[in-house]
Structure 1
Amino acid sequence: MPNILGVIPARYASTRFPGKPLIDLAGKSMIQRVYEQACKAKLLSRVVVATDDERILLHLQNLGLEVVMTSTNHTNGTERCLEALQLTEGDFEYVINIQGDEPFINPQQIDTLAGILNGKVQLGTLIKRITDPAVLDSPNIVKVVFNRKMEALLFSRSCIPHLRGVSNQDRLSQFTFYKHIGIYAYRVDALAAITHLQPSPLEKAESLEQLRWLENGYKIKVVETELETLGIDAPEDVEKALKHYNV
């Protein structure tokens, strides 16, 4: 297996939920819980948090967890992952970008993604079969279609593909749809290259960074997981999260 660095980007500033990484979830900060879950993954060589805020830096340092301070000028987590790689000692072949707002990330999901990283894969991500018809038309849930080689063809906030002549209520019985799980793997050379790409038309239209990579000819390998995720995007999601800790 290649040496894989797990990076958890963690920004303090957030339009919808400022200070989100430091919120308390049953006695531990959210970022601590994400870090602890990531460390349970068997195929990661190392895990580091990449932050741009001294409050998060000091919090994690006080806990004895590995963290690096990155620039405040990054426009996305991919750029932050590259700087974290550059700041972390070690000879890594891949980086896995783990969302900092998913305290319930299952280590098996990380290992499922890591398991396809054979040196030939440039970029990788997770997908999950859609079973809830409401998800198909939710712009907050990204859908994905892929080819027979398990390479992504397109990501969209719309329902893809459109089933001609099929009513909305019958879609799931006529076709297998997949949603995107937002955890990414980058081969280090691909990571360095994609951070220099300019925003693309499809990316701007959908507000999905991975479309920039596809438009520039990069291959994104997808692998299916049967495990669900629960992210914390807004303050109202905290109550849902606490229920999982029986609080």
Structure 2
Amino acid sequence: MPRASSPVAIIIPSRYGSSRFLGKPLAMITGRTMINRIWSLACAVPGVDHVCVATDDERIADHVRSFGGEVVMTPKECVNGTERVLRAAEMLVTTPSIVVNLQGDAVLTPPWTITTLIDEMHRDPTVGIATAAVQMDKRSYEALRASKRHGEVGGTTVTFDRRGNALYFSKSIIPFVRDDKQGEGTDLSPVFRHIGLYAYAYESLCRYISLEPGPLERLESLEQLRALEHGIPVRVVEVDYGGRTHWAVDSPDDLKRVETLIGEEGDLVGA
């Protein structure tokens, strides 16, 4: 039976002091700041009751307020973005039943992919955590293989069972494609790239934050493995980017790539 209509919040964790890219949320991308672009994406998702930015930095907060966005100030002691999202959810006037963690650097996330994730939470009330994945085409798969051979860490893949529940997430490419003829006759590869977009039932988010990281999480440096190590199912929802390119901003070098993609593919939403 579908989950009853319930409050949905999209919370955007945003931190100024990134070690790899100081002040990243305020970086300009074709005339607008990164956090402004993320805010616009979240506001374009229909059926959402609350959108807010969770931060501990007044520079980010002042900027978000300047374009009419809502800010929740969270403790500096939050160890990661997921904990920051929970602390913000706890401070909302109405506690949301579904909490979406939209990462503050995912500036090319199509709003319809967020809708797909929320729809799965409504469709199946047993789902406590859901995340997104895109089936890679052969071109993007070969590009990922090449980047891994050169020692790049970025790019997480995921495998899942017949119900769509995650089996494993890895910075390595999984599954290992033994036969190069696999998928002959189609442009698709058998590999799914994980998209760092999450939806939580509020109770599942609280439980997740209370758990200790396990050895797999520490080895791969992937937070989502904590849920699997503690036996919490993670529903993997296949999303369609509609021909658009997935990219996130991890370093200043990524800004130029994102600006090029926006120039080629257009803005997802207006200012």
TM-score by length of 2: 0.85
- SS of corresponding position for 2:210: coil
Partner residue, 2:144: 135
CA RMSD of aligned residues (A): 1.8
1:74 deviation in Å?
A: 1.3
Instruction: Please identify, of 222-231 and 121-130, the stretch whose mean Cα deviation from structure 2 is larger.
Output: 222-231
> CA–CA distance in 2 between the matches of 1:170 and 1:245?
34
The corresponding residue for 2:246 is 229
Cα deviations across residues 199-240 of structure 1 (Å, max 9, x unaligned)? 101101111011011010101011111214221111111112
Any unmatched runs of 5+ in structure 1? Answer: none
User: Alignment length, in residue pairs?
Assistant: 244
- SS of the equivalent of 1:145 reads strand
Is residue 153 of structure 1 aligned with residue 162 of structure 2? no
Question: For the residues of structure 2 that align with 1:66 and 1:76, how far apart are their CA atoms?
Answer: 20
Kindly indicate whether the alpha-carbon contact (under 8 Å) linking 2:135 and 2:189 is maintained by their aligned counterparts in 1: no
Whether 1:126 and 2:132 are equivalent positions in the alignment is yes
Cα 1:140–1:81 change in 2 (3 A) is same
Contact 2:160 2:168 (8 Å CA) reproduced = yes
1:8–1:98 Cα contact (<8 Å) kept = yes
Which of these residues, 87, 93, 96, is aligned with residue 89 of structure 1? 93
Is residue 2:221 matched to residue 1:207? yes
State how 1:18-33 maps to structure 2 within 5 Å: 18-33=22-37
Q: 2:60 aligns with which of 56, 59, 81?
A: 56
Q: Give distance in 2, aligned partners of 1:42 and 1:95.
A: 14
CA separation in 2, counterparts of 1:72 and 1:12? 11
Alignment match, 1:179: 193
Query: 1:141–1:87: structure 2 CA closer, same or farther, 3 Å change rule?
Result: same
Q: 2 CA distance for matches of 1:199 and 1:240?
A: 33
Report the TM-score, using the length of structure 1 for normalisation.
0.93
Identity of aligned residues (%): 37
Report the alpha carbon displacement of residue 244 of structure 1 after superposing the two structures with TM.
4.0
Aligned partner letter, 2:27: I
Q: Which runs of 5+ in 2 are unaligned?
A: 265-271
CA distance in 2, matches of 1:61, 1:175: 43
Helix, strand or coil: the match of 2:164?
A: coil
> Aligned to 1:148, what secondary structure does the other structure show?
coil
Q: Distance in 2 between matches of 1:220 and 1:42?
A: 24
Deviations 1:147-187 (A, max 9, x none): 011000100111212244x3xx5456496111100000111
Aligned equivalent of 2:267:
none
Q: CA deviation at 1:43?
A: 3.1
